[in-house]
Structure formats: structure tokens, C-alpha cells
Structure 1
Amino acid sequence: MSTTYSIRSNRLIATFDPDGARMRSLCLDNGPNLVLDVDDTTSQELRDAYGGTIVGPVANRVCGGQVSIGETTHQMPCNENGATALHSGPDGLDRAIWTVAAQDRTALQLTHHLPDGHGGLPGNRDIEVWFEVADNTLTFRVTMTTDAPTPASIAHHPYWRVTPEHTLHIHATHYLPTDHANLPTGVVAPVADTLFDHRTARPIDPGTDHNFCVAKQAKAQPAPMATLTTPSCILEIASTEPGLQVYSGAFLPTIPEADIAPQTGVALEAQGWPDAVNHPDFPNVICTPDHPYSQVTQYTLQPAT
């Protein structure tokens, strides 16, 4: 079993596991765990559903696992019936044993190296992740450097515990419709008059596993993305990323020992738009030696009133 590492502020306590750089718990004001988690000796099913992990280096789905950079097409391993590479296939960052590089009371740094060709992608890549707490905010920072052009769209993948009484407000006027393989069709569609209109807070439709187009490009500083409200707490997410993938948790496993079942948790993943490597009009996700990848995402929590 992996050793877990804790950080804390005056209001938050968070624990992490180097196996997948997983966030195992996040508690506000000494309250209950706000994210889904289960002991690995009880079940691996939540782990296999990416619960709490860092996913990438290319989060979400890539059509056929194919990435073209210049005149070269790179083949990522597909892990969804040969049709898509989900979260970079079966050996993505979620399966890595990360190195704990530094820790103090309020912050934790983890690192991982991907050699050239790993996961079918070019470049010797070094990824650094920081988690830091201050008062009621958890900040997630990630950077990736490379010695060759390569795609990078890394995401943090906790499942936030919800009840049927939750609502979600998203700062997005458009979303990406998907096809039978849950891949973007290429259309950037208005949310108006659809089940995905979260401009006003509403419950998440069970069929939601879609990207919301919060911005047309990455931002220099975190900007508001979404607010999730449950009977017990309010979560506000701000990020530098242009997309927010929202997954309703419709296919979460049933693990009675941990009070986990379909739709008991939702994933709210700040990231680049999915399959951007195959859609030139989507925000660019290729990083280079001169332009490394970086993301800052902030989770601010407060009790529901």
C-alpha cells in the first residue's frame, strides 16, 4: 500500500497518494470527505475510473489514438474498443507512481518523467504537480517541459460527492456535442435550449460527459469556471484552462462500503478541449521546448448556507 501525504491550512485538510498522484480526501472545517474514495483493498473500481488521479499527458479522448505533428502521425494506444485513446491509453499519468519531490505543512510537489515515445508520443517530458492549501482554497498547479513538440492537456480528476439535490452553474455559452464514441463532432454548439445550459444553476443531466467551452484559449490567470452547490457545501472552480469536462458519474461503480454508486460523484475536469489534436480550430494543445505547458486550477470551498 502506498504512503499517503497530507497538507493542511486553517480550514482544509487534503491527503494524496503517489500512485496516480491521487487526491484521496479533501475536508473542509474538519467535515467529511468531499471527494469519493475507497480503500484499494476493498475495491479497485474507483481507481480504474480515474478517481482522484492526474490524467494525461492528453486528457480525455483522442480519435483513433492518432496525433499528427508536422508530417508525422503518432499512434497512442487505444483503450476504448480500439476507437479512442482515453486519458492517454492504458499507461497514462494516472498509472504512474509519482515521486514526492517536496512537502511542507501546506504544499506538496510531485514529479514524473515520460521518456520519448512513451504512450506513442514524442519528447522527453518532465511533469511537475503542486497542491497547495490556503484558508478554504486548494490550488492545483501543473507544468510540463519537453525537448520536442508534443501534445499536453493534463487534468485533475476527482469525483466530487453529490446528492440528487445538487446544482451546477457553468460560465459557458457553448459546449461540444459528441458522437457515438463520445468524441467531439467538431461543432461548437450553443448551450441555449439544451440539457447543457448551466448558465443558470441546474442539476447535471445523467447523460452529461461533455466539454464546456469556457474560453477560446488558455488564460494567463485563473478565471471563474463553475460553481457546484450541494446541501453541505459550495465549490467554486477557477482555472487557466479553456475547457471544463463535466461527467455526471453515470457509470461509476457500486461500492456499498464507501457509499459509492452511479451519480454519487461528478467529475469537473479543467483541461484543453478534447481531441483538439484532430481539430485545428480548437484551442491549441501542442507544447514545445520554447513554450512549455502550464495550468493553474483553484478549488474554493465554503459551507452551504
Structure 2
Amino acid sequence: MTDQITLVSNDLHATVSPHGARLETLSYQGSASLTLHADPTLHPTWRDVYPGAIVGPVANRVAGGRVPLNDVIHHMPCNENGISALHSGPNGLDQQMWQVVHQTSNEVHLCALLPHETGGLPGTRAINVHYKVEGASLTLSISAVTDAPTPINIAHHPYWRLGDTHDHRLQIPATHYLPVNGDNIPTGQIAPVANTPFDHAHPKQLDPSVDHNFCLKTVASNVPTRLATLHGSDGLALRINSTEPGLQVYAGAHIPTLPGTDIAPFAGIALEPQGWPDAVNHPNFPPILCAPGHPYRQITQYCIGRDT
């Protein structure tokens, strides 16, 4: 099996790598890739910012790596200034070489197994990811099972670029967001977006300081609903539907500058459907506990087309 898997439909051409089960590129009707991509052999630090990867098993930041569970405090390795566990630390799902279970011309199924106590968390966990392209839509289906109660909050981390990023306008039907402290960890407050830079009820440019969760629901759902629409240059638009209750939006302030490429800070926007970050330490957030007999499931749809 080659390291790059190609998926095609009438409108889309995608490449997927088993390293991190990552979406490397996605092109629409022969366009340049709508996701940022660089050759990791030429730019070994590129994958440090999770481009296109499946991140988890607990995505986003966990304060102090602290995970209270059944009167026991578990500790995830802190990989962000010793202050938080970001995307489950240095050996999360983005670092795994996933097994390719099955593939066809337009879909691929990958699997990763995390033994008990991997990343400081209990449970032997099996994670399955399906990418499928049909027409102008890419559907990402994620599931996980465990043999012991454990937190699961998996996210997909592409950086989107629809033409010139200065032309990006983002619309999010969220009425609330999560304020963060100086370390980008949620304070526990759930604040209204009204009269703040986080109000994206109508399409507008993203504030460059944004690295926040937008609260779309109070529980995960079974049917994907609209989380965001990104409007790009030349009338191109990306609509994101998901079953997840939150959307982490990151303006890309710390994307590295890669010589010889057009990748630099703010070259793309990360839009990550997921559970609310640091939910393990905030009982008022939607729970992310996965248990035997109660698998984790996520369906996220990326639909690409022209504004009308």
C-alpha cells in the first residue's frame, strides 16, 4: 500500500495519508488544493501544526492534562508549554500510522488501535475513520469503541484556503462561544457572541486572534446540521455540516512560514467540528465520555460549490 491514497468523484480529487489518517489535498473541479499542503520530507516541521490530521483521542486543550474520571485523576502528557495537553499530547492520533482496512476509487477506511493507558487514558480504544467523496461532497465518518470508560473527542484539522485568504468570509450560526484565558484554555464561561468579534451570524472576515470554540449545540446529534459556511474568492464556498456540538475556529496565527511555499501565518483557516474543549474539567459542557456499549460517532460533511 502506498503512502498516498487517491479518492475521486465527478467534482472532487482528494489525497489521504495513513500517517495521521490525514487529508492531504482536496481539489474541486481541477482547482488547486483547498487545503494547505506541503511535502513533509522537505518541511519536517509542517506536520507539527496538524495539517489535515485526525486529532485526539481528546482533541483541543486539556488544562494541565488533567482528566478526572470516576474519582481518579488521569494525567495526559502536556505538550504545550507544560500547561496543557494539546490534541492528546505528543503521541496522539495524528502521529499514528493508521491501517488501511479497505479502499475503493472514492472511499477509504482506516483504523488505529490505542492500547490501555496510551496517552495517560484508560481503555483499549479502536478508532475507525472513513473518507468518501461523492459529487462535490466529502463525508468524514469517525467512530470509536472502548473496553473501559474514557473521554473521546476526535476532530479533523485541515487548514482551508479558498483562493486569497483576504477574501475569506465566515458565517457561523452560533449564539455563544467559549472565552479562553491567556493560555487559550476555556475559562468555563459560555458567553454570547452578540456585539463581539465572534458574531458571525452574517458572513464576515475572521478576527486574526481567533482560536476559540463556537457553541452550536449542547449535545452531539445523530444527523449532521450546518456548523459553518466559508465563502472564498471567485464565488467558491465550503459548507460544513456535522453531528458535533462545537466548532473550533483558528485563524492560523501560528502557521509556520515554509520557504519556497505560499504557506505562512494566516495562509489558511482551521474549522474543526468537535466536542467543546476541556470538557473533562467543566461539568457544564457537553460530556465527552465514551463507555463500553456506547460508542463514539461523528459524521462531518464538507460540501463545496459556488455562491448563488
Global fold match (TM > 0.5): yes
1:97 to partner: Cα distance? 0.4
Number of the residue aligned with 1:241 = 244
CA contact (8 A) 1:231 1:304 kept: no
Q: Which runs of 4+ in 1 moved over 4 A?
A: none
Give me the whole-angstrom Cα distance separating, in 2, the residues matched to 1:117 and 1:266. 33
Worse overlay, 43-52 or 274-283: 43-52
Contact 1:58 1:88 in 2 (8 A): yes
Partner of 1:6: 6
- Compute the displacement of 1:4 (Å): 0.1
Is 1:291 the counterpart of 2:297? The answer is no
For residues 20-54 of structure 1, give each alpha carbon's deviation from its aligned partner in whole angstroms, at most 9, with x where no partner exists.
11111000011111000001122123211001100
Task: Name the residue aligned to 1:57.
Answer: 57
Whole-angstrom distance in 2 between the partners of 1:217 and 1:91: 28
Pairwise CA distance, 1:99: 0.5
Count of residue pairs brought into register by the alignment = 305
1:211 alignment partner in structure 2: 213
Calculate percent identity across the aligned residue pairs. Answer: 52
Q: Of the candidates 195, 198, 202, which is equivalent to residue 196 of structure 1?
A: 198
1:241 CA drift (Å)? 0.2
Identify the match of residue 174 of structure 1 among 173, 176, 182: 176
Task: Note the alpha carbon deviations across 1:183-240, whole angstroms, 9 max, x for none.
Answer: 0000000000101110111111000000000101001100000000110420000000
Tell me which of 272, 277, 287 is aligned to 1:274: 277
2:54, 2:278 → 1: CA distance?
18
Aligned-partner SS, 1:89: coil
Distance 2:120 2:85 in 1: 11
Matched, 1:153 2:148: no
* 1:39 alignment partner AA: D
Contact 1:139/1:298 (8 A) holds in 2? yes
Match runs of 1:37-48 below 5 Å: 37-48=37-48
* Aligned-residue offset at 1:98: 0.5
What is the root-mean-square deviation in Å for CA atoms of aligned residues?
1.2
Paired letter, 2:26: L
Secondary structure of the structure 1 residue equivalent to 2:73: strand
Alignment of 1:252 onto 2:255:
yes
Report the Cα distance in structure 1 between the residues aligned to 2:198 and 2:151, rounded to whole angstroms: 28
The secondary structure found in structure 2 opposite 1:164 is helix
Letter matched to residue 176 of structure 2: H
The CA distance in 2 between the partners of 1:230 and 1:256, in whole Å, is 25
- In the TM superposition, residue 81 of structure 1 has moved relative to its aligned partner by 1.6
Unmatched runs of 5 consecutive residues or more in structure 2: none
- 1:216-268 CA-to-partner distances (Å, cap 9, x unmatched) read 10011000000001104200000000000000001111114221111110000
Q: Could you tell me how far 1:304 is from its partner in structure 2? A: 4.8
Q: Secondary structure at the match of 1:105?
A: coil
CA distance in 2, matches of 1:80, 1:26: 29
TM-score, normalisation: structure 2: 0.97
